[in-house]
């Protein structure tokens, strides 16, 4: 479904991002993963290599536009085009507002919102030159329903939705599609670390009767990245088993 395409995936070293990388490679894309540190990127590359899946990786500071611009230029020089950007890097939060510091809030907004702006700005000129492209952002079910604590996280994901819908309109004349996937509770290492008594009541609220698997979410990204979604832009696609908060 993605043969001949070049895809950059931020937050691609674990969880949903790693599964997106795996699935995109299965569908013949060239995949470049971005992670926060050299060791996490190398670990993810080795994990995929053990599955006979070859990807390359970088670890730029996503809040440093000049650093991102340099890496993206290097990728474009190597492959000649950049077709897909998946803005998946992010951080969650669960503190009550009175316990949330200004620094806590800024950290969330920097990675969940500002980094998406930086990455998108760095790739969009190459996509315009190619007269096509796909930009996919990771949102969340809490961007639609909110959550009872950790105000920075849903705030940032509401911003991701606004960014997605507005940029879709701006870039449509250049044949660049912009969409987002809003996962529900997903079986990543972060969720696996939560106590059973916290997770089981949540599962009972999901009509499909289970939490999502990373492949469930990655499948949505694959669809939106592919030509099967060629007439879809400006959409926030919920992948949450019909969960409602």
pLDDT, tens digit (0-9, with 9 covering 90-100), for 140-197:
999 988 888 899 999 999 999 999 999 999 999 999 999 999 999 999 887 776 667 7
pLDDT in tens, 161-172: 999 999 999 999
Higher pLDDT, residue 185 or 74: 74
The reported pTM is 0.95
* Model confidence pLDDT, tens digit, residues 204-226: 889 999 999 999 999 999 999 99
Please write the tens of the pLDDT for every residue from 99-121. Answer: 999 999 999 999 999 999 999 99
CA angle 215/94/143 to nearest 5° reads 55
**Residue numbers annotated as active site:** 153
Q: How sure is the predictor about 137, in pLDDT bands with cuts at 50, 70 and 90?
A: very high
Edge-to-edge strand ranges of the sheet holding 176-183 = 56-58, 30-34, 6-10, 84-87, 133-138, 176-183, 236-239
pLDDT the model gives residue 195: 67
- Check residue 69 and give its pLDDT: 98
User: Mean pLDDT, the chain, as a whole number?
Assistant: 95
Say what angle helices 65-79 and 115-130 make with each other, to 10 degrees.
30
The SS3 of residue 86 is strand
| Residue with the larger pLDDT of the pair 146 and 40 | 40
Question: Does residue 54 sit in helix, strand or coil?
Answer: coil
Q: Which domains are present in the chain?
A: 6-239 (3.40.50.720)
- Distance from C-alpha of 132 to C-alpha of 83, rounded to nearest angstrom: 7
């Amino acid at each position: 479904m993605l043969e001949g395409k070049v895809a950059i995936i931020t937050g691609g070293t674990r969880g949903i991002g790693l599964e997106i990388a795996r699935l995109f490679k299965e569908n013949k894309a060239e995949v470049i993963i971005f992670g926060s540190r050299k060791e996490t990127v190398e670990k993810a590359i080795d994990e995929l290599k053990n599955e006979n899946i070859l990807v390359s990786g970088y670890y730029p500071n996503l809040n440093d536009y000049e650093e991102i611009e340099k890496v993206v230029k290097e990728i474009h020089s190597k492959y000649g085009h950049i077709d897909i950007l998946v803005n998946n890097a992010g951080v969650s939060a669960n503190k009550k507002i009175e316990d949330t510091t200004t620094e806590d809030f800024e950290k969330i907004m920097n990675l969940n919102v500002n980094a998406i702006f930086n990455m998108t700005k760095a790739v969009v000129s190459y996509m315009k030159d190619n007269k096509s492209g796909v930009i996919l952002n990771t949102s969340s079910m809490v961007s639609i329903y909110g959550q009872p604590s950790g105000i920075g996280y849903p705030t940032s994901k509401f911003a991701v939705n606004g960014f997605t819908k507005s940029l879709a309109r701006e870039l449509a004349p250049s044949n660049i599609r912009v969409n987002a996937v809003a996962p529900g509770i997903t079986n990543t290492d972060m969720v696996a670390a939560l106590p059973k008594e916290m997770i089981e009541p949540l599962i009972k609220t999901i009509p499909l009767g289970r939490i999502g698997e990373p492949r469930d979410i990655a499948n949505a990204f694959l669809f939106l990245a592919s030509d099967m979604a060629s007439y879809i832009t400006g959409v926030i696609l919920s992948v949450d088993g019909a969960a409602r908060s």
